Amino acid sequence: MAASVNRPSAENREKVQKIFIQRDYSEGTNVKFQTKFPAELDGLIDRHLFEQTINTLNRIYAEAEKTSATTFCESCLACLTSYVIYLCIETHYQKCLKRIAAYLEDQNETVWLPRGLLITDPIERGLRVIEISVLVDPSTRS
């Protein structure tokens, strides 16, 4: 399922400023991103909207990595079938990644793109960073 978000054209990519939200390793190696508001976004988006988006992503990633009876049974079934079962079903983690992709697509359309910003799905950056692209020059905004 490909995202239908408009990406900047080749000639406009040079003008696009990139802001990176780093991973937060303070609680271990689980996927979690820093909620510190970057100064580059000041005046472009409300701090509350930024934190809400990052906290929602962190919550879904925590749910994806959480051990439960379902994930335990899923893993046991995978071992018993020599992992062939994964050709037939989606893992809990894959389902959560799809939820994140759908959430980010919705957020980009309703919140971020109208403000001249675009969030790239962290999976496209190897879950290392959240990339926020500033599509319009802040000095030309009215």
Task: Return all residues near 19 (Cβ < 8 A) that are at least 6 apart.
Answer: 38, 40, 41, 131, 132, 133, 134
Q: What is the pLDDT of residues 94-131, one digit of tens each?
A: 999 999 999 999 999 999 999 999 999 999 999 999 99
Share of the chain above pLDDT 90, in %: 83
pLDDT at 7: 55
> What pTM does this model have?
0.83
Q: Are the C-beta atoms of 130 and 57 separated by less than 8 Å?
A: yes
Q: Are the C-beta atoms of 120 and 133 separated by less than 8 Å?
A: yes
